[in-house]
C-alpha cells in the first residue's frame, strides 16, 4: 500500500477493461487524455494496458492499438499483466460474473458498474473480496454519476439511516416529466424516449420498475446492513399511469415520480418501488427529466439529497474512475459497508402493513348510489377521506359492460393501512358499481 508524501514514484497501476461500450470507451478516453492530471493528484500513473470486448475492429473513437487484446474477459481478469480489473460488460451472470469472480479469487481488485450483478451476487462477491483481502468498487452501479455508494458507505459517519428513497431510473423520470409538462400519453412519451435513446427497444425492465428495484436493493443493504434481496421488493411500474392521474396530481399540488423507497419499520425493512405522489414543493419533485436523485433521512443528519445525472458515458465513467482512484490509493472498506459476515438476513416488512396516504381513481358506473356505496365501504374500514374529486372533465371514455356511462371518481385518503385499502377495494369491486381495476397510487409526505 502506498503512502502519499513518500517522495518516491510508485509503479503505474495497470488496468484491464472488459467491455468497451459507451462507458468503457469513455473511461479509456479519459485515462488516455487526463492521465497526467491524475498522476499529479495520485502520485501514480493509472494506465489501461489491456481490454476485452466482443468486436476488435469496431470504431469506438479511441485508439486501442497499443493495448493487449483479450477475446475472453475471464482470461483478462486473470492475466498477470494487470493490477486492477474493470468489468463493464453487464448482465447478472455469464461472462461478467465469471470474470469478476476470477479476479477476486486471485486477490485482484475489481471495479464494476453492473447493478444486476451486484443485486444477484453482491453478498457472495463482497465475501470473496474480503477473504482475498482485496477491493470491490461499484459506485457506478447506482445512480450513474452521483457518488451515493461512497456517501452511504463512508460519508455519513455513524448516522443511523431511517429511510432512503430516490429517483433511480432516467427512462421513467423522462417519461413522467414529459407527461406532466406536455399532457402526452405514456405510449407516446415512451416512443419519443426510444427515439432519443433514453429507452430500450424492450422497455419492460425500466418502465416496470425492475431496474429501480435492483438499485434499491443495493442501497438498502448499505443503509440497513441486511442482505441484498431484490426479489423481495414490491414492484409496480409506470405503464398504467394516465394523463388523468397526472392532471389530478397537479391539481392537488403533487407530481408523480417513480420512487424506490426502503425504510425501517417496526415490522422490518419495507422496500418498495412504485409511482408515487410527491408534494410539488419538495426537493425530489424538482428532479426532472433524465436526472436521478437519492434522498436519505437519518437520525443525525436529518435529510440529505444528492441529485445528478443517473446515466451517460461520462458521468458513469467518472464514478468508475473514483473507485479506481480509491484502489490506487490503497483505501480499503468492506464493499457493503460492514463485513459481509455481519450482514443480517433480510427481514421483510409485509406490504400489507404499509401505512400512508392513497390516491384511488375509480371508473364508477353513472347510476344512483355508486358514490354512496364506495364511500360507505371506505367508512366501514375506517378509511378517512381527505378529498373527493368528481368532475365531468375528468370522466374517462369507458363504458360499463351493460352499455351505461361511467364517471371518474378520485379519492385521496388520509394515513391508512395498505391491508385496509386492499380489502375495501375488493368489496367495492364485488358491489358492482365500478368498471375495471381502480388506479391506486401511494402518497409520500416527504
Interaction site with its own copies (CB under 8 A): 1, 3-6, 30, 34, 37-38, 40-41, 43, 130-131, 133, 139, 145-147, 150-151, 154-160, 281, 283, 286-287, 298-309, 312, 314-315, 317-326, 329-334, 337-339, 342
**Cα angle, residue 28 at apex, residues 310 and 93 outer, rounded to 5°:** 60
Map 399-446 to HEC letters.
Answer: ECCCCCEEEEEEEEECCEEHHHHHHHHHHHHHHCCECCCCEEEEECCC
Bridging pattern class, strands 68-70 and 254-265:
unpaired
Q: How far is the CB of 433 from its own copies (least distance, A)?
A: 42
Q: What phi and psi, each to the nearest 5 degrees, are found at residue 260? A: -100, 130
**Residues 404/367, Cβ–Cβ less than 8 Å:** yes
Q: How far is the CB of 428 from its own copies (least distance, A)?
A: 38
Catalytic residue list: 215
Q: How far is the CB of 302 from its own copies (least distance, A)?
A: 5
**Residues 435/398, Cβ–Cβ less than 8 Å:** yes
Instruction: Give me 362's grid cell.
Output: 375509480
**In whole angstroms, what separates CA 137 from the centre of its chain?**
17
**Cα angle, residue 15 at apex, residues 61 and 79 outer, rounded to 5°:** 115
**Which residue lies nearer to its own copies by CB, 199 or 321?**
321
**Residues 145/312, Cβ–Cβ less than 8 Å:** yes
Q: How far is the CB of 146 from its own copies (least distance, A)?
A: 7
Bridging pattern class, strands 46-52 and 68-70:
parallel
**Residues 58/50, Cβ–Cβ less than 8 Å:** no
Q: How far is the CB of 292 from its own copies (least distance, A)?
A: 10
Instruction: Give me 325's grid cell.
Output: 482512484
Q: Which of 312, 358, 271 is nearest to 174 (CA)?
A: 312
**Which residue lies nearer to its own copies by CB, 79 or 169?**
169
**Which residue lies nearer to its own copies by CB, 111 or 273?**
111
**Which residue lies nearer to its own copies by CB, 293 or 428?**
293
Q: Which of 89, 210, 216 is nearest to 148 (CA)?
A: 216
List beta partners, residue 412: 359, 387
**Which residue lies nearer to its own copies by CB, 27 or 409?**
27
**Residues 355/416, Cβ–Cβ less than 8 Å:** yes
Q: How far is the CB of 332 from its own copies (least distance, A)?
A: 6
**Which residue lies nearer to its own copies by CB, 283 or 353?**
283
Amino acid at each position: 500500500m502506498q503512502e502519499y508524501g513518500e517522495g518516491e514514484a510508485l509503479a503505474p497501476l495497470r488496468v484491464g477493461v472488459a467491455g468497451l461500450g459507451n462507458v468503457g470507451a469513455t473511461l479509456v478516453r479519459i485515462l488516455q487524455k487526463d492521465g497526467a492530471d491524475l498522476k499529479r493528484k495520485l502520485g501514480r500513473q493509472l494506465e489501461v494496458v489491456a481490454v476485452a470486448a466482443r468486436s476488435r475492429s469496431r470504431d469506438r473513437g479511441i485508439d486501442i492499438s497499443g493495448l493487449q487484446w483479450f477475446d475472453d474477459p475471464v482470461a483478462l481478469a486473470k492475466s498477470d499483466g494487470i493490477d486492477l480489473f474493470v468489468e463493464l460488460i453487464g448482465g447478472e451472470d455469464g461472462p461478467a460474473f465469471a470474470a469478476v469472480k476470477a479476479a477476486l479469487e486471485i486477490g485482484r481488485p475489481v471495479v464494476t458498474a453492473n447493478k444486476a450483478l451486484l443485486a444477484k451476487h453482491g453478498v457472495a462477491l463482497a465475501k470473496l473480496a474480503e477473504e482475498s483481502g482485496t477491493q470491490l468498487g461499484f459506485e457506478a452501479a447506482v445512480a450513474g454519476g452521483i457518488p451515493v455508494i461512497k456517501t452511504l458507505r463512508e460519508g455519513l459517519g455513524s448516522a443511523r439511516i431511517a429511510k432512503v428513497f430516490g429517483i433511480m431510473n432516467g427512462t421513467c423520470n423522462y417519461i413522467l416529466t414529459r407527461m406532466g409538462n406536455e399532457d402526452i400519453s405514456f405510449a407516446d412519451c415512451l416512443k419519443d424516449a426510444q427515439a432519443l435513446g433514453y429507452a430500450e427497444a424492450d422497455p419492460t425492465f425500466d418502465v416496470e420498475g425492475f431496474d429501480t428495484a435492483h438499485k434499491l436493493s443495493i442501497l438498502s443493504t448499505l443503509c440497513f446492513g441486511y442482505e441484498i434481496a431484490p426479489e423481495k421488493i414490491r414492484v409496480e411500474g409506470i405503464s398504467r399511469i394516465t394523463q388523468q392521474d397526472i392532471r389530478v396530481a397537479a391539481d392537488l399540488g403533487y407530481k408523480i415520480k417513480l420512487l424506490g423507497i426502503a425504510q425501517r419499520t417496526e415490522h422490518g425493512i419495507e422496500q418498495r418501488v412504485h409511482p408515487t405522489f410527491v408534494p410539488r414543493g419538495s426537493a425530489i419533485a424538482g428532479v426532472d427529466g433524465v436526472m436521478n436523485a437519492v434522498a436519505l433521512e437519518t437520525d443525525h443528519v436529518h435529510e440529505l439529497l444528492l441529485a445528478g445525472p443517473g446515466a451517460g458515458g461520462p458521468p458513469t465513467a467518472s464514478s468508475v474512475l473514483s473507485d479506481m482512484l480509491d484502489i490506487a490509493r490503497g483505501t480499503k472498506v468492506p464493499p457493503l459497508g460492514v463485513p459481509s459476515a455481519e450482514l443480517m438476513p433480510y427481514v421483510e416488512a409485509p406490504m400489507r402493513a404499509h401505512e400512508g396516504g392513497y390516491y384511488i381513481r375509480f371508473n364508477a358506473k353513472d347510476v344512483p348510489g355508486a358514490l354512496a356505496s364506495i364511500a360507505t365501504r371506505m367508512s366501514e374500514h375506517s378509511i378517512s377521506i381527505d378529498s373527493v374529486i368528481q368532475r365531468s372533465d375528468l370522466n374517462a371514455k369507458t363504458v360499463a359492460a351493460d352499455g351505461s356511462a361511467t364517471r371518474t371518481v378520485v379519492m385521496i385518503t388520509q394515513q391508512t393501512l395498505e391491508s385496509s385499502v386492499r380489502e375495501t377495494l375488493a368489496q367495492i369491486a364485488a358491489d358492482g358499481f365500478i368498471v375495471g381495476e381502480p388506479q391506486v397510487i401511494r402518497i409520500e409526505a416527504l
